[in-house]
Structure formats: C-alpha cells, structure tokens
Amino acid sequence: MRHGLWKAGGQGRICAAMIEAHDSLAFMKMHGLGNDFVVLDARARAIEVTPALARALGDRHRGVGFDQLALIEARGTGDAHLTFYNADGSTSAACGNATRCIADFLMRESGALALTLTTDRGALPARRVEGGAVSVNMGPPQLDWAEVPLAEAMDTLELPIEGAPTATGMGNPHCTFFVEDAEALPLETFGPRYEHHPLYPERTNVQVAQIVGEDHIRMRVWERGVGVTLASGSSSCATAVAAARRGLTGRRVRIDLDGGTLEIDWREDGVWMTGGTAHVFDGVLTPAWLGLNA
C-alpha cells in the first residue's frame, strides 16, 4: 500500500504490536454536545486496539484527543457492534453520546431511519427523530447494588457517603449528587475523590445535579478514566433515573450540560436519550506515528 491509505476490502488485521512500515489507519472525529470521540471503523478490516494505542490516541497534545474511543465492528446481532475505550486506556460497556453519533453516521450511510447497535451493555435501538436529532434507548437502568456494581449490599437510592448520592448502573457505574448549585462545586477535585471511592470497585462516573424544575436539571460531569467532560449521555440517563426515583422530577426531563442539552425519557422499555450529533472530520494516522505508539 502506498501513501498511507489501506484498502477498505482488505482482510488483514492491524495489530498494535506489529505495525508494518506502510500501514496507516483512518479515523473519524465526532462529538455529541462537546463530548468528543475518535471512531475507528473495523467493519471491512479488523483493528486491534490495545490500552497503549487508546492512551496515545487520546493524548490531546501528541495524538488526536478524545473523551472516548469507539470501535465499530461487523459482528453481533445488530447492525454493528461498538466497543468503547476511555482516554486512560480502560474500557467502558456504555457511551451514550458516542452511540448516538455512530448511529447517525450509519443511518446516513444506509439511508435507514432506525437501527440497532450492540454493545457490552446489550442491544441499543436508535432512530432518527423530527428535526434530524438521534434518539437511542440505553436500556433499563441497573438499580440493584450488585448490578451497579457496589462493593457491598445496600440501598442504592441514598449511599452512606457524605451528600447521600444515588448509585445507578447504565452499563457503567454512576454516582449522582444532588446539590443546590452545580456551578459552585470544584469538579476537578470533587470528581476524582468519588471516582475512586471504596464503595465502587470498578470506579464510577460522578455527577453533580441541580434541580431547576420538575422536568429540568442542570448537571456537570466527571467521567471515570477521563475527567471533566462537557457532556455525558450515560451520566444524563443515570441522573434522570436518580432524580425520578427520589421524587425530584418526573421521568421525562431536560438536562443542561456544559456542552448543551439532552432530552431523557425513562420509559418501560428503557431510558431514551435524544440530542444532536456532529461528524467533525476524517483523518489518517500515519505509519510513523503508529509505529511509535502501538
């Protein structure tokens, strides 16, 4: 292959430990409300992502930079299978905004108005809604302590932590604090303190949420393995579920994040999330960079 572009129909595997001199790797950059992603399309040619490669790609100075890396594969029972990596190289079973972005991309590609994506969270139906936004069903919330998971049996509605946060699983763990003023907390120090709390053996995403009205929440997010993010889809779902369980809101709410607004609707079939997406640009990782960072 020449000039760094590999054939879409090739059957080889790009192995992070065995990058050949003339292999390069195409990627897409997307975001949902500023929650940004690098997306690798492995439907035509398998791509092996190692923690080291994910960390290198996530470096905003020496790589591309992202909150999450998403890998699209042609496997599973749906239209495609998604695997997610955090900026620190760890994996996550769910990423709501990335799921919406990729659903938008695949629907534009095929002309379909609905599809189903599989993840380690399960099968997630997605559809185009009025105005062009994308809505995805993130599945039923996990409310039992063992599903979140927590380290020991307890009521997930109010944890024995200062501030009495609520624990919710959305394929990844969440810890939601309801506060008077979401802007006032120093999230840069508050978030990591609870991401690593002993009650969360797999660490946790941390949200600070301010109730504005019975159908309106202001929320800020610290993401596990990432840090402060402008938005988080799974965090928005978890916060909406926690607020409804505590009687603070109804089951359908608008959540204002630093990067924009998501609509969350907790229905019998799962938690539906709706909002805008952006496919920003396409790029190619050079063989030299891959050789150094595989």
Instruction: Give catalytic residue positions.
Output: 95
Residue 35 known to bind ligand: yes
Residue 205 known to bind ligand: yes
Please list, in sequence order, all residues whose beta carbon lies within 8 angstroms of the beta carbon of residue 108, skipping any fewer than 6 positions away.
none
In order, the DSSP letters of 125-144 are EEEE-TTS-EEEE----B-S
Beta-carbon count within 10 A of 116 CB: 17
Residue 293 known to bind ligand: no
195 touches 206 (CB < 8 A): yes
State in Å, rounded, how far the first CA of the chain is from the last one.
19
SS3 of residue 235 by DSSP: helix
Residue 137 known to bind ligand: no
Please list, in sequence order, all residues whose beta carbon lies within 8 angstroms of the beta carbon of residue 291, skipping any fewer than 6 positions away.
19, 21
Structure tokens at 147: 């599903």
178 touches 211 (CB < 8 A): yes
Residue 63 known to bind ligand: no
The alpha carbon dihedral of 178, 138, 128, 100 has a sign of: positive
Ranges of beta strands (E only) in 188-294 are 205-213, 216-223, 227-229, 252-257, 260-267, 270-275, 278-285
SS3 of residue 286 by DSSP: coil
Tell me how long the chain is: 294
Residue 55 known to bind ligand: no
For the annotated binding site, the residues are 35, 68, 86, 96-97, 172, 205, 223-224, 233-234
For the annotated binding site for substrate, the residues are 35, 68, 86, 96-97, 172, 205, 223-224, 233-234
